[in-house]
Amino acid sequence: MSIFDFLDLLGTAAFAISGALFAIKKRMDTFGVLIIGFVTAVGGGTLRDMLVGADRITWMNDLNYLYVIIAAVILAIVLRNKIGYLSKSLFLFDTIGLGIFTIIGTEIGLQNGFHALICIILGMITATFGGVIRDTLSNEMPLIFHKEIYATACIIGAGTYLILDKFQIDQSLIHILTTLMVIAVRLIAVKFKLQLPTFYSN
């Protein structure tokens, strides 16, 4: 298994746990927890695969993704009372998934020969649109449209990836550094309550 495949499965697990914890917090039943965990984990990647014209959707072509999602959701359910405060755990796993999937989407864009800006957009979509679907199904305003820095962290991370890639640095190191970049930006934004400006009238 390559580092790329490992990171993809790790991000899938992180987002599945994040989605499951979100559903548990919303007091959904077992089926609801499984569905929300599933769409959070694969929603962004599915949209990305459709946009790049992939022959097959990634999770439909490799059952390991379904096994990882099911195992992650079960783990979240079993350890829901031991995993700490749900809000903190949700934030942790969501941030890990955000960092990993940003890099996965950006790299797939490069592999398909897209312009750098398109690669950045694909990275952001891969990382955030599972959460958009999760929030929409839960009747919540998607997180990327309000509150703290979220999609912006993906854009910064994807941009960093493209810059490092130009210097022909080892791919494994690029994966690690840029994933940590996304996570760091998100953590700093939340800690210091950084937000993009909003525009509204009375």
Domain that holds residue 154: 3-191
Instruction: Return the percentage of the chain with pLDDT > 70, whole number.
Output: 96
42 confidence band (pLDDT: 50, 70, 90) = very high
What pTM did the predictor assign?
A: 0.93
Structure confidence at residue 59 (pLDDT)? 96
| 62 is a domain residue | yes
| 83 is a domain residue | yes
Q: Is the dihedral of CA 141, 87, 147, 131 positive or negative?
A: negative
pLDDT higher than threshold 60 for residue 84: no
Residues 95-115: tens digit of each pLDDT:
999 999 999 999 999 999 999
| 201 is a domain residue | no
Q: Which residue has the tokens 């096994």?
A: 67
| 104 is a domain residue | yes
Residues 134-145: tens digit of each pLDDT:
999 999 999 888
Q: Which of 10, 38, 72 is nearest to 1 (CA)?
A: 10
Q: Which of 29, 99, 25, 34 is nearest to 69 (CA)?
A: 34
- Residue range 58-68: average pLDDT? 96
| 196 is a domain residue | no
User: Structurally, how many domains does the chain consist of?
Assistant: 1
| 199 is a domain residue | no
State the CB neighbour count (10 A cutoff) for residue 183.
Answer: 20
CA distances from 161 to 89, 120, 146, 155, 166 (A): 27, 9, 25, 10, 9
Task: Dig out the tokens for 144 from the structure.
Answer: 């990327």
Structure confidence at residue 143 (pLDDT)? 83
Structure confidence at residue 85 (pLDDT)? 66
- Residue range 27-35: average pLDDT? 96
Structure confidence at residue 202 (pLDDT)? 62
